[in-house]
Amino acid sequence: MTQLPNPVSISASLDPGLSRWKWLVKWFLALPHLAILAFLWLTFVVLTLVAGAAILFTGRYPRGLFDLNVGVLRWSWRVEYYATTGGMGTDRYPPFSLGREPDYPATLDVAYPERLSRGLVLVKWLLAVPHLVIVTVLLGGSLGWVTVGGERVQLAPVSGGLLGLLVLVAGVILLVTGRYPHALLDLTVGLNRWVYRVIAYAAFMTDQYPPFRLDQGGTEPGSGPLVPPQAGPAPVDLRGLDRPEVSRVPDHSHQPGKPLL
């Protein structure tokens, strides 16, 4: 059975020649980003509630709210990939941007849905419970909370759990050998891909239920580069060729003036 492409697309590429020691201080360098993201995720929660009401009455996710919330997810993924549980697979400092930033080694996008189910808005959080349980078991509670103005705001995964352990192991290996283990990066990106699919579904951004599947690797499944067809022999143009002349043997069996026998 053909799998439908997932509307949530996450990709990451490993920087060549990563610094052995820089991962030890990346969390500190990322503090300005983390402070901004705390307020952005508060905005994300509020806009999700507003979008849910709009979907309930119109069946559409307001495009402006959708683009802003996708921008929060993009920003979070870039910071995580640089400094925390995303894998720390790049030394490039993430931009302060809600945009796509396709040149950055970590990218995230969510396809905009033209229509959404009105009824699912009321039960998506309930349908997502099995995924939330699995994600919590896999990540060890890395769906953390931050306090902003006395209010607890749910953030994207930024702490501890299995992801934190994987990144720590990868960092130690990088420190000792100067090489980042690709297998650990593939697993880390796959776990993050699972989590962001669940977040997008629970936040009403798609009606496609996230699969119970761990898609590992830095490239989103189904989005690899197209393989060009192999070049075959060049076609021969016959239009300029003359037709071969057919030699005609003169028929001497009958000459004018001679009666046929």
Query: pLDDT tens digits, the chain, 261 residues: what are they?
Result: 456 689 999 999 999 989 999 999 999 999 999 999 999 999 999 999 999 999 999 999 999 999 999 999 999 999 999 999 899 999 999 999 999 999 999 999 999 999 999 999 999 989 999 998 888 866 665 444 444 455 554 444 444 678 888 999 999 999 999 999 999 999 999 999 999 999 999 999 999 999 999 999 999 887 644 333 344 444 455 454 455 454 454 555 445 555 444
In a domain, 70, yes or no: yes
In a domain, 65, yes or no: yes
In a domain, 212, yes or no: no
In a domain, 160, yes or no: yes
In a domain, 230, yes or no: no
In a domain, 96, yes or no: yes
Q: Are 207 and 117 in contact (CB under 8 A)?
A: yes
In a domain, 22, yes or no: yes
- In terms of residue numbers, what domain contains 189? 8-202
| C-alpha span between 204 and 55 (Å, rounded) | 8
Phi/psi at 42 (5° precision): -65, -45
In a domain, 249, yes or no: no
Q: Are 104 and 92 in contact (CB under 8 A)?
A: yes
Closest-CA residue to 166 (of 135, 192, 148):
192
| C-alpha span between 197 and 201 (Å, rounded) | 6
| C-alpha span between 160 and 174 (Å, rounded) | 19
Question: How many domains would you assign to the chain?
Answer: 1
Region of 88 on the Ramachandran plot (φ > 0 left; ψ -120 to 50 alpha; else beta): left
Q: Are 109 and 206 in contact (CB under 8 A)?
A: no
Place of tokens 């402070």: 35
Burial class (CB in 10 A: 0-12, 13-18, 19+), 249: exposed
Q: Which residues pair with 106 in a beta bridge?
A: 12
